[in-house]
């Protein structure tokens, strides 16, 4: 009789409800590793453990900032660094991470990405969830993506990207591209800076017939950026000459990926870089040159900086560690995955760019992560001009920069933090909230083991890409823990991320690059010795 009572309908329903909630809770608190590494995953099943503590203590590591390193503990509460000092004592409700013998650094900031990007008739395979998850696995905790206007409208472009970021899982900011010029665009630039938190605008000097703008627009854009305290950015290639180069290659019967590099040689990157630098000097506004890929462009930046001009040069990791030989690979599928613009250059350019980073000629490292898979790259199997431009890098950057620059002795550990995080935060005016391990900074932190090793392979990366341009590269130095906004999102080679947990970071205008600009303008005006007062000639 007792058995019957226990199994009667009310008791049975209660029992089944309890079982249901236990199973549901388990599915939320025990996420799979990035939901099968981002391949065929169901984003709704990805989650952060509900038991995750809002208090963290990182003990005994060497805390590295861009100017200083020391052995200290780092205490975090509710996503903010509360204290950085030795021997911090805490209660039992704090999650403790042992960082003895390891480096505790600011999470990386990638200044140059293209997620969920519609380009050349297709769309990147990495969106604001998969691309950001890959970034977190590689120790990058913030990135800045490029908003592309819709039919020239900045507002429509911004709104479109707002929708794309609904499933973001880490902090991000926006640059804005300018693709046409009129009074509406000028007013929208003000709106973007004053209300939307955008403090940088990109001008494409390449991609004729699509994104490319002329010198007249470039000058108008530079003037507007200066008035708003925003940073002007350029993709520096001579688009008219590239167009001619492409026609020449096709006429010669060169239709494969090697034609991409041959049609847009380094001299065209150097010319456009020089032109943009001189126009910026004419307007007297700071300039940021994205994806510096060649000695030609780097030397123009070096010359301008030596003369005191405010020019920032951003190499990308593919340009630092690869060479163009892959574009001549006999297998089209392999060669096509290396097509990007400006192209990866001949061996020697990579070493020169590394040297420029180590001497301060170039200031920070991006990726230009723009992921198109093999099927998409095959659009150009008979014509290299139709191969979607872009390579990966958002997950690999932190490891490759360490192995290439620190392990080789070219830069120090503090320089590494500056190149991968702090300088980006300063340029885009979010330091010390980002880019620092300081009390009051956001708890975007990595624990880095300099003695561990890494190997890059498409089988283990977290991008949705079916290939990796850095396939097989090995080295020393590994991100073992990533903490984003105070949450442990990467540990023991496992990702714990959830769509919708990322935050849009507004970036205010007038970064340090604008300090003293008005004095330079005043000196210029006083040097003119004009207008000259002349007596009117008698008629």
- Across 7-21, 71-85, 283-297, 492-506, least confident range: 7-21
Region 44-50: what's the mean pLDDT?
43
Band of pLDDT at residue 538, cut at 50, 70 and 90 = low
* Predicted pLDDT at 56: 98
* Predicted pLDDT at 536: 84
- Nearest Cα neighbor of 170 from 443, 417, 477, 401 is 443
CA 218 – CA 536 distance, rounded (Å): 38
* Predicted pLDDT at 487: 97
% of residues, the chain, pLDDT over 90:
89
% of residues, the chain, pLDDT over 70:
90
Tokens read off for 21: 């909630």
CA 95 – CA 484 distance, rounded (Å): 15
* Predicted pLDDT at 539: 61
Assess whether the previous peptide bond of 342 is cis (omega < 30° from 0). yes
Name the one residue in this structure whose structure tokens are 């105070």: 486
Q: Tens digits of per-residue pLDDT, 225-251?
A: 999 999 999 999 999 999 999 999 999
pLDDT at 303 over 90: yes
Instruction: Return the higher-pLDDT residue of 273 and 51.
Output: 273
Of the chain, the end-to-end C-alpha distance in Å amounts to 127
* Predicted pLDDT at 537: 72
- Nearest Cα neighbor of 64 from 487, 450, 493 is 450
pLDDT at 63 over 50: yes
Is the CA virtual torsion 443, 444, 445, 446 positive or negative? positive
Spacing of C-alpha 76 from chain mean position: 25
CA 3 – CA 497 distance, rounded (Å): 45
Region 265-279: what's the mean pLDDT?
98
* Predicted pLDDT at 5: 39
Band of pLDDT at residue 1, cut at 50, 70 and 90 = very low
Name the one residue in this structure whose structure tokens are 């950026």: 225
pLDDT at 38 over 90: no
CB-CB contact of 451 with 476 (8 Å): yes
Region 319-334: what's the mean pLDDT?
98
Region 382-409: what's the mean pLDDT?
98
Residue count of the chain: 539
Name the one residue in this structure whose structure tokens are 């994205």: 290
Spacing of C-alpha 439 from chain mean position: 25
* Predicted pLDDT at 53: 65
Torsion of CA 91, 96, 100, 104, to 10 degrees: -110
- Nearest Cα neighbor of 384 from 345, 338, 350 is 338
pLDDT at 8 over 90: no
Torsion of CA 450, 456, 462, 468, to 10 degrees: 140
Region 336-360: what's the mean pLDDT?
98
- Domains assigned to the chain: 107-432+451-471 (3.20.20.140)
Q: Tens digits of per-residue pLDDT, 132-185?
A: 999 999 999 999 999 999 999 999 999 999 999 999 999 999 999 999 999 999
Is the CA virtual torsion 373, 374, 378, 381 positive or negative? positive
pLDDT at 28 over 70: no
Distances in Å between the Cα of 278 and the Cα atoms of 222, 296, 309, 325 are 12, 15, 10, 33
Q: Tens digits of per-residue pLDDT, 469-511?
A: 999 999 999 999 999 999 999 999 999 999 999 999 999 999 9
Mean residue pLDDT across the chain: 92
**Helix, strand, coil: what percent of the chain each, to 5?**
40, 20, 40
Region 342-364: what's the mean pLDDT?
98
CA 475 – CA 537 distance, rounded (Å): 78
* Predicted pLDDT at 457: 98
């Amino acid at each position: 009789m007792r058995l019957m009572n226990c199994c009667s309908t009310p008791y049975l329903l209660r029992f089944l409800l309890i079982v249901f909630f236990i199973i549901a809770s388990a599915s939320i608190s025990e996420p799979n590793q990035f939901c099968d590494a981002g391949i065929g995953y169901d984003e709704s099943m990805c989650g952060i453990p509900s038991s995750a503590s809002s208090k963290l203590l990182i003990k005994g590591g060497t805390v590295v900032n861009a100017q200083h390193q020391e052995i200290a503990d780092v205490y975090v509460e509710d996503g903010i660094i509360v204290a950085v000092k030795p021997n911090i004592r805490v209660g039992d409700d704090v999650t403790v991470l042992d960082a003895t013998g390891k480096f505790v650094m600011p999470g990386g900031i990638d200044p140059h990405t293209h997620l969920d990007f519609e380009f050349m008739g297709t769309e990147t395979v990495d969106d604001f969830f998969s691309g950001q998850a890959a970034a977190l696995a590689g120790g990058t905790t913030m990135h800045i993506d490029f908003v592309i206007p819709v039919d020239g409208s900045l507002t429509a472009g911004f709104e479109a990207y707002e929708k794309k970021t609904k499933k973001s899982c880490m902090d991000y900011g926006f640059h804005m591209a300018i693709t046409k010029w009129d009074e509406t665009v000028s007013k929208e630039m003000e709106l973007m800076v004053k209300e939307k938190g955008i403090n940088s605008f990109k001008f494409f000097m390449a991609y004729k017939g699509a994104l490319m703008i002329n010198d007249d627009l470039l000058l108008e854009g530079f003037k507007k950026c200066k008035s708003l305290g925003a940073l002007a950015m350029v993709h520096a290639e001579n688009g008219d000459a590239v167009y001619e180069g492409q026609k020449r290659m096709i006429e010669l019967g060169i239709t494969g990926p090697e034609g991409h590099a041959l049609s847009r040689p380094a001299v065209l990157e150097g010319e456009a870089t020089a032109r943009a630098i001189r126009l910026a000097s004419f307007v007297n506004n700071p300039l940021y040159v994205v994806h510096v890929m060649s000695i030609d462009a780097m030397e123009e930046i070096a010359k301008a900086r030596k003369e005191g001009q405010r020019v920032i040069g951003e190499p990308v990791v593919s340009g630092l560690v690869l060479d163009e030989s892959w574009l001549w690979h006999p297998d089209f599928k392999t060669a096509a995955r290396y097509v990007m613009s400006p192209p990866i250059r001949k061996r020697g350019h990579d070493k020169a760019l590394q040297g420029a980073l180590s001497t301060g000629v170039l200031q920070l490292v991006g990726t230009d992560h723009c992921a198109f898979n093999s099927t998409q790259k095959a659009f150009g199997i008979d014509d290299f001009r139709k191969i979607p431009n872009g390579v990966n890098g958002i997950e690999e950057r932190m490891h490759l920069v360490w192995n290439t620059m620190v392990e080789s002795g070219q830069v120090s550990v503090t320089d590494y933090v500056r190149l991968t995080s702090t300088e980006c935060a300063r340029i885009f005016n979010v330091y010390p909230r980002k880019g620092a391990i300081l009390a009051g900074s956001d708890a975007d932190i990595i624990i880095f083991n300099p003695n561990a090793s890494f190997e890059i392979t498409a089988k283990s990366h977290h991008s949705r890409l079916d290939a990796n341009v850095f396939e097989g590269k090995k080295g020393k130095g590994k991100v073992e823990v990533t903490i984003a906004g105070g949450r442990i999102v990467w540990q023991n080679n496992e990702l714990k991320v959830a769509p919708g947990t990322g935050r849009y970071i507004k970036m205010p205008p007038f970064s340090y690059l604008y300090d003293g600009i008005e004095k330079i303008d005043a000196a210029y005006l006083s040097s003119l010795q004009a207008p000259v007062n002349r007596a009117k000639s008698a008629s």
